Amino acid sequence: MPEPEVGVLGGRGLHRDGLKGWPDLRSLSGKKMTTPPPPPVEKQQQQARPAAVAPPDQTLEFSDGLLLRVLACLPEPHLTGAASLVCRRWMRLAGRLRRRLVVRDWAFVTHRLHHRFPELADLDLFPASIVAPAVPSPTSPLLTCAEVSLTLDTGADPPLVACRFLADDVLDRGLVAVAASFPNLRRLSATAASESGGLMDIAGGCATLQELELHRCTDLALRPVSAFAHLQILRLVAASSALYGTSEDGGVTDIGLTILAHGCKRLVKLELVGCEGSYDGIAAVGRCCAMLEELTIANHKMDNGWLAALAFCGNLKTLRLQGCCRIDDDPGPAEHLGACLTLESLQLQQCQLRDRRALHALLLVCEGARELLVQNCWGLEDDMFAMAGLCRYSNHQSHFSI
Flag whether pLDDT at 254 surpasses 90. yes
Give kind and range of the element (H or E) at residue 32: strand 31-32
pTM: 0.74
Do residues 290 and 315 lie in contact, with contact meaning Cβ atoms separated by under 8 Å? yes
What was the pLDDT predicted at 222?
87
- Neighbouring-strand partners of residue 296: 271, 320
pLDDT at 400 over 70: no
Distance CA 358, CA 368 (A): 17
- At residue 280 the predicted structure's pLDDT band, cuts being 50, 70 and 90, is very high
Task: State yes or no: pLDDT of 370 exceeds 90.
Answer: no
Among the listed residues 267, 232, 272, 268, the one whose alpha carbon sits nearest the alpha carbon of residue 251? 272
Q: What is the mean pLDDT of the chain?
A: 76
pLDDT at residue 331 above 70?
Answer: yes
Report how far residue 188's alpha carbon sits from residue 115's, in angstroms, rounded to the nearest whole number. Answer: 18
Average pLDDT of span 147-158: 59
Find all residues with CB under 8 Å of 63, minimum gap 6, and list them: none
Q: What is the pLDDT of residue 279?
A: 92
Q: Which residue has the higher pLDDT, 181 or 63?
A: 181
Question: What whole-number distance in Å separates Cα of residue 145 and Cα of residue 391?
Answer: 36
Of the chain, the percentage scoring pLDDT greater than 70 comes to: 61
The neighbour count for residue 231, using CB atoms within 10 Å, is: 21
Question: What pLDDT sits at residue 6?
Answer: 42
Side-chain-side CA neighbours of residue 65 (13 Å): 0
Decide if 377 contacts 351 (C-beta within 8 A): yes
Please report the pLDDT score of residue 381 as a whole number. Answer: 77
Distance CA(189)–CA(121), nearest Å, equals 12
Domain 97-401 in CATH: superfamily?
Answer: Ribonuclease Inhibitor (3.80.10.10)
Instruction: Pick 165 or 389 by higher pLDDT.
Output: 165
Give the per-residue pLDDT at 307: 92
pLDDT band at 247 (very low <50, low <70, confident <90, very high): very low
pLDDT value at residue 10: 44
| CB neighbours of residue 222 within 10 Å | 24
At residue 11, the pLDDT reads 46
Nearest Cα neighbor of 378 from 305, 320, 327, 306 is 327
- Mean pLDDT value across residues 230-258: 77
- Domain parsing of the chain, residue ranges: 63-96, 97-401
**Burial, 387: exposed, middle or buried (Cβ in 10 Å; 0-12, 13-18, 19+)?**
middle
**How much is the pLDDT for 398?**
45
* H runs (alpha helix) in 182-251: 197-205, 241-244
Gap between the Cα atoms of 199 and 203, Å rounded: 6
Residue 165: the pLDDT is: 81
What does the pLDDT read at residue 397?
44
The candidate with the shortest Cα–Cα distance to 120, out of 139, 105, 98, is: 98
Complete DSSP assignment for 362-392: HHHHTTT-SEEEEES-B---GGGGGGGGGST
> Which amino acid would we find at residue 354?
R
15 contacts: CB under 8 Å, gap ≥ 6: 7
Return the CATH architecture of domain 63-96: Up-down Bundle (1.20)
Looking at the predicted structure, is the pLDDT value of residue 5 above 50? no
Q: Cα–Cα distance between 253 and 278 in angstroms, integer?
A: 8
Q: Which residue has the higher pLDDT, 157 or 202?
A: 202
